[in-house]
Amino acid sequence: MAPQQKQRKMAIVGSRSVGKSSLTVQYVDGHFVDSYYPTIENTFSKVIRYKNTDFATEIIDTAGQDEYTILNSKHFIGIHGYMIVYSVASKQSFEMCRIIRDKILNHLGADTVPIMIVGNKSDLRPEQRQVQTPDGKKLAEELGCGFVEASAR
């Protein structure tokens, strides 16, 4: 009998229009969504193989956050990790990363939780950037998070 898959749940959070849904759809389904429809919430499933272990992963694509939005309590229950996404073309979305991370930790009453900060839209031309790669790396280091830049294209 095959060993049972381990279950993992992660939430994708960030400001509006940073590409959370596009990143998620690209990762799960392998195609780019060119149109923008604000997400209320979507859940995706994907089996991820890591170190010879399969993880049945539930990915929760959340609605865009702003500094006044309160993350829904279901975005904290049973979540194993978070991906905070910003757009490299939006300084405001970058500045929201710290606020969102603090909201997550405050709500969980924890000092740490696995968090990856993702600078999305890295395919944009240099003159379209408002946030440079070293700034993203520095923020992630300050917050004790992982960091990567990505493009859903």
Q: Give the start-to-end residue ranges of the domains of the chain.
A: 6-149
The CATH number of 6-149 is which of 3.90.226.10, 3.40.50.300, 3.40.50.720, 2.40.160.50? 3.40.50.300
pLDDT higher than 80, residue 15: yes
pTM reported for the whole predicted model = 0.89
Q: Which helix (H) or strand (E) holds 8?
A: strand 6-14
Q: What is the pLDDT of residue 73?
A: 65
Residues 73-118: tens digit of each pLDDT: 666 778 999 999 999 999 999 999 999 999 899 888 888 899 999 9
What whole-number distance in Å separates Cα of residue 113 and Cα of residue 104?
9
Q: In this predicted structure, which of 25-34, 63-72, 88-97, 132-141 has the lowest mean pLDDT?
A: 63-72
